[in-house]
Amino acid sequence: MAKLNMVKALNLALLQEMERDADVLVIGEDVGVDGGVFRVTEDLHRKFGAKRVIDSPLAEAAIIGTSIGMALYGLKPVCEIQFSGFAFQCFHQIENHAARYRMRSQGRFHCQMVVRMPYGGGVRAIEHHSESEEQFYAHIPGLKMVIPSGPRTARALLVSAIRDPDPVIFFEAKALYHAGREDVPDEIETLPIGRARLVREGSDLTIIAYGAMLRLAQEAAQLLHDEDGVATELIDLLTISPLDRETLTASVGKTGRAVIVHEAPKSFGPGAEIAASIMEGAFLSLEAPIRRVAAYDVPFVGFAREKANVPDVSRVVAAARETLAF
């Protein structure tokens, strides 16, 4: 078992799935000879050649449109959109076609494809390189929306996404690419899409987070334990859609309190759907209003002010203490 960062773990998933299944291929800007702007596809071009690791033009709509055609033909493309902020150039292909072919063809055709997109802040990038826009894809029926929180979950979920018969939007937090290493098994490992992960058990409060926000949620949970003696239950969502409502309501049914943390803007974000699910499934167990800790409802603020916009440990702890004191 090797200790890998997220970049290496994602590369391992692609390598092993391409070795296992000759129909799996990679397509995107600079994914071939250069190995990807973040090196996630490094060395795949040398091993599998230009027919299975395809350098595309700088044209997001062409990447997704071509991949939809390949998926309908029976191939299993893994597309890379270099930064999620540029995905609106291909949004019509995802929403109008990839998400709809199963229903449109009454089950005769389906789009087995993965769209990988680096997303989120924390790397002092410029506009269109730091946004967190998972809510747009989670809202579209016919798509699955997955966000891993570390190297091991990234590797296992990417394998599951590649094998899924329907289109999967796969967000990768840039802030996690080189943030740390984890043990990643040599043998292929999968995680079920649509299931959350219980990271820490507790009885006083539930914190729900995903992607890069999981790490600061873990720090907040530990601080609450050390300074206040609070036993926090921490849930790593892993999949935004379909949402694991069962795990959420079971946890809040036990703790009676919930704080949701995400990097997307607060209004109409994933936290609203999570809160509604808790209200529907665990309303009579709630002992305090559900709190959301999220980015503010403002356009890109620039990297110099990014830290003031994206949630941090102090904001999570403050929300937790308010919830506990209610």
The two most distant CA atoms of the chain are separated, in Å, by 60
For residue 295, give the DSSP letter.
E
Taking the C-alpha atoms of residue 53 and residue 70, their distance in angstroms, rounded to an integer, is 13
Burial pattern 264-295, b for ≥16 Cβ within 10 A else e, equals bbbeebbbbbbbebbeebbeebbeeebbbbbb
Residues 23 and 36: their CA atoms lie apart, in Å, by 20
CA 161 to chain centre: 11
CA distance 268 to 47: 44
User: Is residue 209 helix, strand or coil?
Assistant: strand
DSSP class of residue 98? I
Query: Which residue of the set 129, 139, 178, 225 is catalytic?
Result: 129
Is 129 designated active site?
yes
- Distance between CA atoms of 243 and 225, rounded to whole angstroms? 28
3-state secondary structure of 314: helix
Joined tokens for residue 175: 């802030």
Where in the sequence numbering do the catalytic residues fall? 129
